[in-house]
Amino acid sequence: MGSLLQVNNLKTGFHTEDGMQTVITGIDFEVNHGEIVGLVGESGSGKSVTSLSIMQLLHDTPGEIIDGEIIYKGEDLLKLSEKKMRQYRGNELSMIFQEPMTSLNPVMKIGKQIIETISLHLNMSGQKAKQHAVSMLESVGIPRAKDIMNEYPHQLSGGMRQRVMIAMQISCNPSLLIADEPTTALDVTIQAQILDLLKDIQEKTNMGILMITHDLGVVAEICDRVIVMYAGRIVEQATVKEIFNNPKHPYTKGLIDSIPKIGAGLDELYSIPGAVPSPKNMPKGCKFAPRCEHVMDICNLEEPALAMENGRSSRCWLTQEQSQQEGVVGHGQ
Amino acid sequence: MWQYIIKRILGLIPLLLVISFVIFMFIHLIPGDPARLMAGKDATLEEVEEVRQSLGLHEPFVKQYISYMGNLLQGDLGYSIKSGAPVVDLILDRVMPTLGLTFLSIIWALVIGILIGVLSAVFRDKWPDRLGMLTAVSGISLPNFWLGLVLIQLFSVQLGLFPTGGDDAGWKSYILPSFALGAGIMAMIARFTRSSLVNTLKQEFIRTGRAKGLSGTSIVFGHALKNSLIPVVTVAGLQFGFLLGGSVVVETVFSFPGLGRLLIDSIQFRDYPVIQAEILFFSLQFILVNLLVDILYSYLNPKIRYD
């Protein structure tokens, strides 16, 4: 497993009336070949902006990448011309979106939408492109694929549309697929089917998947590694097992505790108090401090760094203090 | 699709019956004795009676309606009181110039209007947008009689490129009046295209298009424009319907022999059979244009077809 995508010190800001507001504050992570990485956080934590930054799809937003590197297969995507970047999108890097209802063109036949991508990148035309589109639809488990080619998005169910979307975005065999909340808008049973499908495709093609979600259930289901984001920065990074068995950051703990448990009463459902601070009103120290149960004096004064330890990292004074103490104890023995 | 079109055409039959009945009633709704009104103030009793006989007003109401509908289906719309010529001939003489003028105006209004709208939407809040919207506001604000006069002064009197009026100079006689007529419609189409396209460009499927690697031009013309055309088609259709009735003002300014002037002349002379026939004709045109717009809707938005 080599590094497929490496994001170094990515900073993205939004143009506002008060000037540039940084919303992604220098994040680093990587996605390897054949790996599914979960990018987790609440609304407003910066997950989607991160994914749009990687694809450089901030056109229709007031956003702009300020600094950093996005190294894909050894090449910095931020240094590419828009024309070159267009050749990568849909071909090398693909993206599927949350709302299958609105993410397909409502007035264009399904077949035409898929063929468009294929003929754009694969140098296939006419019958050949059509055959490839049908086989892609079949590969994502769509029955009567040939008929569906001539139908419009509104004639399909949400789950089917998301399958069409996946078929379209993997039709050029990308190495990296960014899935932005691909199951959030779907029924629970369909969610499981779509996740199985993505896992299946990933195993067959060895593509890397960056799975953006707020649902730790999704993470547990298919991810290998998890990145937890809060207020535009990474607060914890670890394997799925480590995250669920031993979460380090209080925010990650809160997220795990917020998963509804079968058998627990409704009044026992935990939620993290407060909300993600806006970029305008960021707390001075740790950005999670105002919502944290374990807040200490230092938390309000200084922001902790993302500390690496045994291949995992977290951004919290408490865990850093604990590991230091453990380290002292360890030395003493 | 064909099924939908046939269904829509069949649905027009009851509407046409209602309209023909209302128009038939028109002559009976005139206050007082229609025969006397039409014969004129100084007519003798015999003359009034003659008019009554010729219009069949002495017959029972139901019989009048049946014979009116019978004539209508055979294309007989009666005779003009003023000239005595068959009304059908009068209208047919004027239809072609008006149709030509209307088509020319609407075509260039659509082409230029949509182009300005697209450029303004794509370059929103930049100079092409400001220039485009300035043109649009001017097009809406300038009254077409004034524009007509300016055009005549500039292109006919000063430069001598086009005739000052009439329709004797072939295609050249259509250029200036179609410009004067189309300017307002072009402006409206530009504004509607712009606002609709600006909205469409914010939709999520546009982002999907970009994520597929499509260029900006492919996105605007291949994906966004078709999704934005419904309000544009609505406005263009309505304006087209109005224009088919002939524009009184522009036809007068350019001494253009169209339906609009025929209507004004008929009203001045109280030529009721001609007025009646023109109203019927306008209604028919409006219904046909509406049908055309509905069919275009279903082409532009497949959802409408299947619902």
Does B195 contact chain A (CB < 8 Å)? no
Contacts of B150 (CB under 8 A, 6+ apart): none
pLDDT at B61 over 90: no
pLDDT at B116 over 90: yes
B 207-246 residues with CB < 8 A to A: 207-215, 222-223, 226-227
Say if CB B167 and CB B254 are below 8 A apart: no
Per-residue confidence (pLDDT) for residue A70, from 0 to 100:
94
CA closest to A103 among chain B residues: B205
Contacts of A269 (CB under 8 A, 6+ apart): A258, A260
Per-residue confidence (pLDDT) for residue B79, from 0 to 100:
82
Per domain, the residue ranges of chain A are 3-92+174-276, 104-170
Does the beta-carbon distance from A102 to B204 stay under 8 Å?
yes
Which domains are assigned to chain B?
2-73 (no CATH), 95-301 (1.10.3720.10)
- Could you give the C-alpha distances from B216 to A60, A285, A307, B121, in angstroms and in order? 12, 43, 43, 12
What percentage of chain A exceeds 70 in pLDDT? 96
Q: Measured between CB atoms, which of A55, A86, A97 is closest to B204?
A: A97
Residue B182's nearest CA partner among B171, B174, B170, B193 is: B174
Does the beta-carbon distance from A103 to B208 stay under 8 Å?
yes
Question: Which residue has 């046909």 as its token pair?
Answer: B288
| Low-confidence residues of chain A: pLDDT under 70 | 1-2, 266, 327-333
Q: What is the ipTM of this complex?
A: 0.86
pLDDT at B246 over 70: no
Q: Residue A294 and residue A321: Cα distance in Å, rounded?
A: 12
- Chain B residues whose CB is inside 8 A of the A169 CB are 211-212
Count A/B contacts: CB-CB distance under 8 Å.
75
Position with higher pLDDT, B239 vs B194 = B194
| Helix or strand run (H / E) with residue B76 | none
Q: Tell me: the pLDDT tens digits for B258-303? A: 888 888 888 887 788 888 888 888 888 888 888 888 888 888 888 8
Measured in angstroms, the CA of A192 and the nearest CA of chain B are apart by: 23
Does the beta-carbon distance from A105 to B209 stay under 8 Å?
yes
Selected for mutation to probe chain A from B197, B205, B226 (highest A CB count within 10 Å) is: B205
Does the beta-carbon distance from A103 to B214 stay under 8 Å?
no
Per-residue confidence (pLDDT) for residue A268, from 0 to 100:
72
Q: Measured between CB atoms, which of A86, A105, A155 is closest to B205?
A: A105
For domain A3-92+174-276, the CATH superfamily is P-loop containing nucleotide triphosphate hydrolases (3.40.50.300)
Q: Tell me: the pLDDT tens digits for A212-270? A: 998 888 898 899 999 999 999 999 999 999 999 999 899 999 888 888 877 777 677 78
Poorest-pLDDT segment among A104-108, B1-5, B190-194, B197-201: B1-5
Which residues partner with A239 through β-bridges? A225
Cα dihedral A113→A114→A116→A122 (10° resolution): 170
Q: Residue B197 and residue B13: Cα distance in Å, rounded?
A: 36
Does A173 contact chain B (CB < 8 Å)? no
What's the angle, vertex CA B235, arms to CA B232 and CA B238, rounded to 5?
145
- Chain A residues whose CB is inside 8 A of the B297 CB are none
Per-residue confidence (pLDDT) for residue A332, from 0 to 100:
33
Per-residue confidence (pLDDT) for residue B306, from 0 to 100:
54
